[in-house]
């Protein structure tokens, strides 16, 4: 009799977990992700505190997708200064 109760509880937990996960997935799909492109920058505040000291700064991220992509492309001067592989 005790085994039947345990199995029933396990099945109930699995069903409730599955229903909760399905609802969360549906709700997440309804929420748009990311930010709209535009002009200017997004400003992200970065704060770090270790208890004895800390650090505070801001990061600027371009709103324009093309400008954002350019930040990942090395400039030509950096490519010229790079040592060539001798292998």
| 62, 41 Cβ separation under 8 angstroms | yes
**Residue 14 reports pLDDT greater than 90:** yes
Average pLDDT taken over every residue of the chain: 84
Q: How far apart are CA 37 and CA 56, in angstroms?
A: 27
Q: How far apart are CA 83 and CA 87, in angstroms?
A: 12
Higher pLDDT, 78 or 28: 28
The pTM score is: 0.42
């Amino acid at each position: 009799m005790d085994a039947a109760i345990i199995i029933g509880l396990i099945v109930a937990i699995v069903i409730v977990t599955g229903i909760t996960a399905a609802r969360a997935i549906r709700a997440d799909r309804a929420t748009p992700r990311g930010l709209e492109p535009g002009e200017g920058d997004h400003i992200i505040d970065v704060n770090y505190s270790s208890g004895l000291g800390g650090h505070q700064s801001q990061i600027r991220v371009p709103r324009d997708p093309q400008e954002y992509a350019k930040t990942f492309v090395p400039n030509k001067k950096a490519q010229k200064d790079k040592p060539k592989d001798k292998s």
